[in-house]
Amino acid sequence: MKKNQKKIALALVCVFLCVWSATASAAETTAQAWICPSCGAEATGNFCSICGAKRDEERETITEIPFVNGNIPLELTVDFVENLAFSKYDVKMSLDNVYIATLPHGKPYHGFLGVSSGLHVLTFQKENNEHIAGVAQFNIESGTSYHCRIQTKRNKITIDAERLGGASLNPAYISPEDYMAMCQAPDYQAIQRYPDQNKGLKIKVSGKVFQVEDGLFNSQTLQLKDKNGKYWIVTYTRTGGGARVLVNDSIIVYGECSGMKTIYSLLTNSVAYPAVAARYIILE
């Protein structure tokens, strides 16, 4: 009888040790630290505590057949930050207004494209609602890679560009010549119709100044009539010793589109015009 009791007790101890070992092993695996590919933070468990992204082994990658629109190879990688509760929707991705793929919420994209040299526009739009969108612009001269991270919000899609050919898409310094070369003639009506979608696009506008308002810290707000008779609002901050822009000046503006800006007047009703945050202003 005693021998049987000893055998039973020994068996129970073995079962307990096996269960404890398996539990400890699982806990160790879960607690093992990893670097989140979406935000770069150190995390434990299966989800990042900062942005909510899943561990690498839990995330699937969509790889598309190469889309060819030129002979320069472009490796395109998009990390899609997953929202835990709100603003969970799929996103359509296009390059230069050509559809590439639809990204399921939280699923990254990786693919190889053939593109031409020059300026390219990468657009992300909420599926079934093109008014909610985000746009990134980049310039390509040779084979390279473009890596960005997107996150969906209630009424917009944010884009964080990490690298372009091993360097930052928005480096600390871009020469004036290179910056101006990236600025393109804008589509006035497109900005009026989809101001949020066009925010951040580098554009070039030229025309005559008909109103100037000075602000703090050498800032100016200009009202400009371009050579096509279209009206613009230009915000600009002069560097130390830089010349002020005056009424009736003919200027060329290089900068980023900032959507629509409303002007209020005591004599007339408020009116909204496409706006530009100027990086450089050239007097003609």
For the cut 70, the answer to whether the pLDDT of residue 193 exceeds it is yes
Q: Rounded CA gap, 19 and 14, in Å?
A: 9
As for how many domains the chain has, the answer is 3
Q: Rounded CA gap, 236 and 69, in Å?
A: 37
Per-residue pLDDT of 55-64, as tens digits, reads 654 445 555 5
160 shares its domain with 249 = no
Per-residue pLDDT of 89-109, as tens digits, reads 999 999 888 888 899 998 888
Q: Which two tokens stand for residue 239?
A: 């560097």
- 87 alpha-carbon distance from chain centroid: 16
Domain boundary among 60, 79, 98: 60
In which residue are the tokens 């930050």 written?
81
Per-residue pLDDT of 154-168, as tens digits, reads 888 888 865 444 433
Confidence of residue 32 (pLDDT cuts 50, 70, 90): low
What's the mean per-residue pLDDT of the chain?
77
For the cut 90, the answer to whether the pLDDT of residue 225 exceeds it is yes
Question: Cβ–Cβ contacts within 10 Å for residue 43, how many?
Answer: 20
110 shares its domain with 152 = yes
Q: Which two tokens stand for residue 199?
A: 């925010």
For the cut 90, the answer to whether the pLDDT of residue 223 exceeds it is yes
Confidence of residue 24 (pLDDT cuts 50, 70, 90): very low
pTM strictly above 0.85: no
**What's 198's domain CATH number?**
2.40.50.140
Contact between residue 89 and residue 126 where contact means Cβ atoms under 8 Å apart: yes
C-alpha to C-alpha distances, 63 to 14, 80, 100, 110, 138, nearest whole angstrom: 48, 14, 11, 5, 21
184 shares its domain with 278 = yes
| Residue 21 forms part of a structural domain | no
**Residue range of the domain that includes 37:** 31-60
Handedness of CA 14, 20, 26, 29 (dihedral sign): negative
**What's 82's domain CATH number?**
2.60.40.780
Secondary structure (H, E, C), the chain = CHHHHHHHHHHHHHHHHHHHHHHHHHHHHHHCCEECCCCCCEECCCECCCCCCECHHHCCCEEECCCECCCEEEEEEEEEECCCCCCCCCEEEEECCEEEEEECCCCCEEEEEEECCEEEEEEEEECCEEEEEEEEEEEECCCEEEEEEEEECCCCEEEEEEEECCECCCCCCCCHHHHHHHCECCCHHHHHHCHHHHCCCEEEEEEEEEEEEECCCCEEEEEEEECCCCEEEEEEECCCCCCCCCCCCEEEEEEEEEEEEEECCCCCCCEEEEEEEEEEEEEC
Q: Rounded CA gap, 3 and 258, in Å?
A: 85
Position with higher pLDDT, 22 vs 283: 283
- Phi, psi (rounded to 5 degrees) for 282: -110, 130
161 shares its domain with 194 = no
What is the mean predicted confidence (pLDDT) over 255-273? 80
| Residue 55 forms part of a structural domain | yes
| Residue 195 forms part of a structural domain | yes
Q: How would you classify the pairing of strands 62-64 and 109-115? A: parallel
